[in-house]
Every structure is written in C-alpha cells, then in structure tokens.
C-alpha cells in the first residue's frame, strides 16, 4: 500500500509539473503570445487589438498571479475558452476524449491479442517457417509509419475496393454496426505497429525466460509442457512485455493523433491540429494537458499492472 501511495503521489506530481511547464512554455517563449497569435500572414497586428487580447487572456497581470489563476482553473476543470469560437475548451474536450480513448482501447486490445499470441507461437517454434514469416512481417510493420499505413489503407480498402468508407464517425448510439465498421480501419492501422512491437518483445522475452534456471527447475519437477509455458514462461515473460508497452505509450498516443487526422475520426487530434494551425493556444494547451495527463495516468496503470505481475516490485 505504501508503494501504491508513493506511485500515486509521483503521478500527481508529474501532472502538476506538466501543467506548470505548459504554462511556463507559453510565457517563456520570446515575443508576446497575443502578438504572436494575431500576426498571421506576416503583417503586424493592430496594437489596439493586441491590447484587447492581452486583457482578455489576462496577460497584463503579474506572471505569478496568472500562474496561480490558471492552476486554480485547472483544478476546477476549467481550461479556458477557445480563441476561434469562444466556446469552453473543457466541454469540447469532454465530447472528443471518449472517442480517442475508444480508439486507443480498441487498438491496444487488437495488438495485445495478436502480438502476444503470435509472439509466443513464434518463440515456441523459433527458427521455423511460422517464426520467419511472422518476424519478417513484424519487421515490416515496425517500419511503415502509421500515417502511411492509414493513407494506403484508404487508397486500397476504401477508394479501390470500396469495402469501407474512407473515414468519418457515427455515434454508437445511432448505428452500432456502422460505428464498429468505421472504427475498424483506424484501430487496425494503429495496431499494425503496436502488435509488431508486442510480437517482437513477446518472442524475445519468451525465448529469454526459457533459458532461465527456474524453467529448468520446472522441467525437473516433471510439469507438463503447457503448464511450464503458461505458468513459468509466459507469466514471467509478461513483465518485459508490460515494460515495453509502457515505453510505447507515447508513440501510441502520437500515432493516434495522426490516425484520427487521416481517418477524420473526431477525437482530440482534430481539435489539436486545427488549434495549432489557428494558433489557438488555449486550445492547444488544453489538449496537450489532457493528453499528457492521460499519458501519466496510463503509465500509472501500467505501473500497477507491473506490481501485480512482479512481486519483487511491490517490496521495493
């Protein structure tokens, strides 16, 4: 429990640091954010408008006051208003976040199912034809950037074969089947890279664990092959698999942004890309904050998983 509390504390601390850094980044950047925002197309903005915006954003107040103010707002769940349409950013994020989470969840589920099972099979038959083909495919899967897969999938499955729509979104409550069909391509696209990663780490972890002394002990006890594989090899091999999963969470979230863009999936990334293009910095800050918090939370969940899998971690 002490360990749990400590990890939780660290996660909260990290969230606070992230929020502070995002705040500081805005204020440490050379030049005035308000001027920067308005100076599109190279023309110098009207000083009066800049002053208005500065007031509106509270940039005229002392930095410390702004910082405390924004942290207080953050605690209340208030991320400010968009510069584009003046709508509250938190509300916009609240509608879009579940869609992004759904995409990540679906992709992770597909990847774990495919990656771990094929990785184990390849390790059991290491050097055989299945292992070679699967390893080569995984090597390829790791090498194609996610937006290339997405774009080519649209070209192939949507434009040429016309099996699925090129992208978009239908709410689950409206049409569950269509919702899942539209989810399949983006989730599958993300899963290509992630399942390749999981395949590789599962394969090498299983091979590595089989060479450990305790597997020899398990054999000397006369256990069945299945029991050695599940209880003494896979159970231990999952520890490095979870570690690698954690290391790839960042890539997964980044990949999600690109995939949502490619498939017009109305998650957080559409908001983010539009906001970056429009230099709507409260919106960018809001989305980056939310995704970073999501990232820290996922890492925390992985840590918990890690502790469940490895008793040595719990005892420090």
Q: Tell which positions 52-91 bind other proteins, by CB under 8 A.
A: none
Please state, in angstroms and rounded to a whole number, the distance separating the CA atoms of residues 26 and 210: 51
Please state, in angstroms and rounded to a whole number, the distance separating the CA atoms of residues 6 and 311: 16
Shortest Å, Cβ 131 to other proteins: 9
Say how many residues touch other proteins, by CB under 8 A: 81
Of 8, 12, 17, 84, the one binding other proteins (CB under 8 A) is: 17
Window 243-272: residues binding other proteins (CB under 8 A): 249-251, 253-255, 257-258, 261, 272
Closest CA to 78 of 64, 92, 99, 65: 92
Q: According to the binding rule CB under 8 A, does residue 213 interact with other proteins?
A: yes
Instruction: Decide: 123 and 207 in contact? Cβ < 8 Å.
Output: yes
DSSP alpha helices (H): ranges in 144-212? 146-153, 176-210
Of 109, 176, 214, 301, the one binding other proteins (CB under 8 A) is: 214
- Nearer to other proteins among residue 172 and residue 295 (C-beta): 295
Percent helix, strand, coil in the chain, to 5, is 80, 0, 20
Please state, in angstroms and rounded to a whole number, the distance separating the CA atoms of residues 221 and 125: 23
Window 173-212: residues binding other proteins (CB under 8 A): 204, 207, 210-212
Window 221-240: residues binding other proteins (CB under 8 A): 221-225, 227, 231-232, 235-236, 239
Q: Three-state SS for 88?
A: strand
- Nearer to other proteins among residue 177 and residue 279 (C-beta): 279
- Nearer to other proteins among residue 39 and residue 178 (C-beta): 39
Of 145, 175, 176, 230, the one binding other proteins (CB under 8 A) is: 145
Of 97, 101, 144, 304, the one binding other proteins (CB under 8 A) is: 144
- Nearer to other proteins among residue 106 and residue 283 (C-beta): 283
The string over 175-192, giving b where at least 16 C-beta atoms fall within 10 Å of a residue's C-beta and e elsewhere, is: eeeebeebbebbbbbbbb
- The residue range among 10-18, 50-58, 64-72, 183-191 that interacts with other proteins, by the rule CB under 8 A, is 10-18
Of 8, 12, 21, 84, the one binding other proteins (CB under 8 A) is: 21
- Nearer to other proteins among residue 43 and residue 177 (C-beta): 43
Please state, in angstroms and rounded to a whole number, the distance separating the CA atoms of residues 278 and 208: 50
Shortest Å, Cβ 253 to other proteins: 4
Closest CA to 252 of 264, 270, 269: 269
Of 29, 87, 94, 133, the one binding other proteins (CB under 8 A) is: 29
Please state, in angstroms and rounded to a whole number, the distance separating the CA atoms of residues 316 and 310: 11
**How many other CB atoms are found less than 10 A from the CB of residue 67?**
16
- Nearer to other proteins among residue 22 and residue 106 (C-beta): 22
Helix (H) or strand (E) holding 26: helix 2-28
């Amino acid at each position: 429990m002490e360990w749990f509390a400590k990890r939780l504390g660290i996660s909260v601390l990290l969230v606070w640091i992230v929020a502070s850094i995002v705040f500081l980044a805005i204020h440490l950047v050379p030049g005035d954010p308000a001027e920067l925002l308005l100076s599109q197309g190279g023309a110098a903005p009207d000083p009066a408008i800049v002053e208005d915006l500065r007031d509106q954003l509270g940039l005229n107040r002392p930095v410390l006051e702004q910082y405390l103010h924004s942290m207080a707002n953050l605690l209340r769940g208030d991320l400010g208003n968009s510069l584009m349409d003046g709508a509250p950013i938190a509300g916009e994020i609240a509608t879009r976040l579940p869609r992004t989470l759904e995409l990540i969840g679906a992709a992770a589920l597909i990847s774990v199912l495919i990656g771990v099972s094929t990785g184990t099979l390849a390790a059991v038959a290491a050097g055989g034809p299945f292992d070679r083909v699967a390893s080569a495919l995984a090597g390829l899967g790791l090498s194609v950037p996610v937006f290339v897969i997405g774009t080519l999938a649209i070209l192939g499955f949507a434009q040429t074969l016309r099996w699925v729509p090129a992208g978009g979104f239908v709410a689950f409550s409206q049409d569950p089947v269509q919702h899942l069909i539209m989810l399949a391509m983006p989730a599958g696209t993300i899963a290509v890279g992630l399942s390749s990663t999981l395949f590789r780490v599962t394969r090498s972890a299983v091979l590595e664990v089989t060479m450990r002394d305790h597997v020899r002990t398990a054999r000397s006890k006369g256990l069945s092959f299945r029991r050695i594989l599940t209880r003494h090899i896979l159970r231990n091999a999952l520890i490095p698999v979870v570690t690698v999963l954690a290391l790839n969470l960042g890539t997964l979230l980044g990949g999600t942004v690109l995939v949502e863009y490619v498939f017009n999936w109305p998650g957080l990334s559409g908001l983010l890309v539009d906001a970056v293009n429009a230099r709507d910095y409260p919106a960018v800050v809001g989305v980056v904050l939310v995704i970073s918090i999501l990232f820290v939370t996922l890492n925390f969940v992985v840590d918990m998983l890690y502790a469940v899998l490895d008793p040595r971690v719990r005892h420090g």
